[in-house]
Amino acid sequence: MTGEGNHARPRKIVHVDMDAFYASVEQRDNPELRGVPVAVGSPAARGVVAAASYEARAFGVHSAMPSVTAQRKCPDLVFVKPRFDVYKAVSLQIRAIFAEYTPMIEPLSLDEAYLDVTENLKGIEIATEIAEEIRARIKAATGLNASAGISYNKFLAKMASDLNKPNGQAVITPKNGPAFVERLPVKKFHGVGPATAEKMHRLGIETGADLKEKTLDFLVEHFGKSGPYFYGIARGIDNRQVKPDRVRKSVGAEDTFAEDIHSYEPAREGLQPLIEKVWSYCEANEIGAKTVTLKVKYADFSQITRSKTVPAPLPAITDLEEVVALLLAPLFPPRKGIRLLGVSLSSLERRRSETTPQLRLAL
112 is catalytic: yes
Burial of 302 (0-12, 13-18, 19+ CB in 10 A): exposed
**Residue 275 to residue 109: CA distance in whole angstroms:** 12
User: Binning pLDDT at 50, 70 and 90, where does residue 246 land?
Assistant: low
Which of 226, 284, 216 shows the shortest CA–CA distance to 251? 284
**Residue 359 to residue 191: CA distance in whole angstroms:** 37
- Supply φ then ψ for residue 116, to 5 degrees: -100, 110
Share of the chain above pLDDT 70, in %: 94
Does 260 show up as a binding residue in the annotation? no
* CATH superfamily entry for domain 177-233: 5' to 3' exonuclease, C-terminal subdomain (1.10.150.20)
Say which CATH topology domain 24-83 has. Answer: MutS, DNA mismatch repair protein, domain I (3.40.1170)
Q: 264, 363 in Cβ contact below 8 A? A: no
Handedness of CA 317, 323, 327, 330 (dihedral sign): positive
pTM: 0.84
Does 210 show up as a binding residue in the annotation? no
pLDDT tens readout for residues 267-301: 998 999 999 999 999 998 889 999 999 999 999 98
**Residue 204 to residue 183: CA distance in whole angstroms:** 15
Q: Strands, E, within 213-286: which ranges? A: 250-261
Please identify which of the residues 4, 112, 269, 283 carries the catalytic annotation. 112
Say which CATH topology domain 7-20+85-171 has. Answer: Alpha-Beta Plaits (3.30.70)
**Residue 283 to residue 348: CA distance in whole angstroms:** 12
Say which CATH topology domain 250-350 has. Answer: Dna Ligase; domain 1 (3.30.1490)
Higher pLDDT, 147 or 356: 147
